[in-house]
C-alpha cells in the first residue's frame, strides 16, 4: 500500500505561489486526499459508481479573464495562459470561488462520473483561439471576428450613450 506523506495539512508537494507579496499554498487538503486514497484502494465492486459535482464553462459567456483559475485554492481549475482552461474534479473542494469570481456567470456546476474523479482525470472545460485587442492589447477569445476585446467594446458603447456618436481619434 502506498503511504501518503503529509506536510502541514497538505499532501507533500503543494504548489506555493506568491501573489501581491503574500505567499499562498495551493494544494489538496489532507482529508480530501485521504478520502480519495481510501476509495482508490477499495476493490471496484465496493465503490459505488455515480456522479460527482464538477464544473462546466459556458464558452458563449466566457471572456477568458482567468479569474476563476487564479482564485482556485487547490489548483483544480487552471489556465495555461494560451486559451485553455482545465479542471480536475478530484482536488476540487467545492469552495465556489470560481462560481462567485466569474461576473459573467460562465462557470457552472456540472455532473462528473465518479470514475473520472478516482482516476484524477483532467477535463478541458474551454479552449479558445486568442486574439490581441487592437485598443488595449489584452488577449481575448476570438468570436465573430471582432478586433476589440469585450471590455473595449463595452467602453465604446458606454461612451456613445454618454456623448453620442464621437470620432475615435486613437487610431488615426
CA-CA-CA-CA dihedral for 92, 120, 64, 59, to nearest 10: -100
Domain count within the chain: 1
Reported residue count of the chain is 172
Q: Does residue 159 form part of some domain?
A: yes
Alpha-carbon Rg for the chain, nearest whole angstrom, is: 21
Q: How far apart are CA 19 and CA 16, in angstroms?
A: 10
- Nearest CA to 104 out of 140, 66, 65, 62 is that of 62
Task: Write down the pLDDT at residue 132.
Answer: 92
pLDDT of residue 98: 92
Cell 499532501, residue?
11
Q: Mean pLDDT score of the chain, rounded to an integer?
A: 77
15 domain-assigned: no
Tens digits of residue pLDDT in 34-80: 777 777 777 555 555 566 788 999 999 998 888 999 888 888 898 88
Boundaries of domain holding 155 = 132-172
Is residue 170 situated within a structural domain? yes
Does residue 65 belong to any structural domain of this protein?
Answer: no
Asked which of 1-5, 58-62, 92-96, 100-104 is least confident by mean pLDDT, the reply is: 1-5
Residue 131: per-residue pLDDT: 92
Residue 29 domain-assigned?
Answer: no
* Dihedrals phi, psi of 26, to nearest 5 degrees: -110, 105
Q: Which residue has the higher pLDDT, 29 or 49?
A: 29
Residue 4 lies in a domain: no
In a domain, 148, yes or no: yes
Q: Which residue has the higher pLDDT, 47 or 95?
A: 95
Q: Are 56 and 109 in contact (CB under 8 A)?
A: yes
Alpha-carbon torsion 58, 63, 68, 69, what sign?
positive
Question: Span 114-128, mean pLDDT?
Answer: 84
Which pTM value belongs to this model? 0.68
Residue 112 lies in a domain: no
Tell me: pLDDT of 165 over 80.
Answer: no
Amino acid at each position: 500500500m502506498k503511504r501518503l506523506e503529509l506536510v502541514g495539512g497538505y499532501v507533500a508537494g503543494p504548489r506555493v505561489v506568491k501573489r501581491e507579496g503574500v505567499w499562498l499554498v495551493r494544494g489538496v487538503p489532507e482529508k480530501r486526499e485521504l478520502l480519495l486514497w481510501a476509495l482508490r484502494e477499495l476493490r471496484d465492486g465496493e465503490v459505488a459508481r455515480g456522479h460527482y459535482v464538477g464544473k462546466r464553462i459556458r464558452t458563449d459567456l466566457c471572456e477568458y479573464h482567468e479569474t476563476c483559475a487564479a482564485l482556485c485554492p487547490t489548483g483544480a481549475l487552471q489556465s495555461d495562459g494560451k486559451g485553455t482552461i482545465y479542471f480536475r474534479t478530484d482536488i476540487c473542494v467545492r469552495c465556489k470561488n470560481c462560481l462567485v469570481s466569474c461576473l459573467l456567470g460562465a462557470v457552472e456546476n456540472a455532473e462528473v462520473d465518479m470514475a473520472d474523479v478516482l482516476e484524477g482525470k483532467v477535463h478541458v472545460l474551454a479552449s479558445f483561439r486568442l486574439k490581441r485587442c487592437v485598443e488595449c492589447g489584452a488577449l481575448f477569445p476570438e468570436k465573430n471576428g471582432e478586433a476589440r476585446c469585450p471590455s473595449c467594446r463595452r467602453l465604446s458603447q458606454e461612451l456613445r450613450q454618454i456623448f453620442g456618436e464621437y470620432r475615435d481619434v486613437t487610431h488615426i
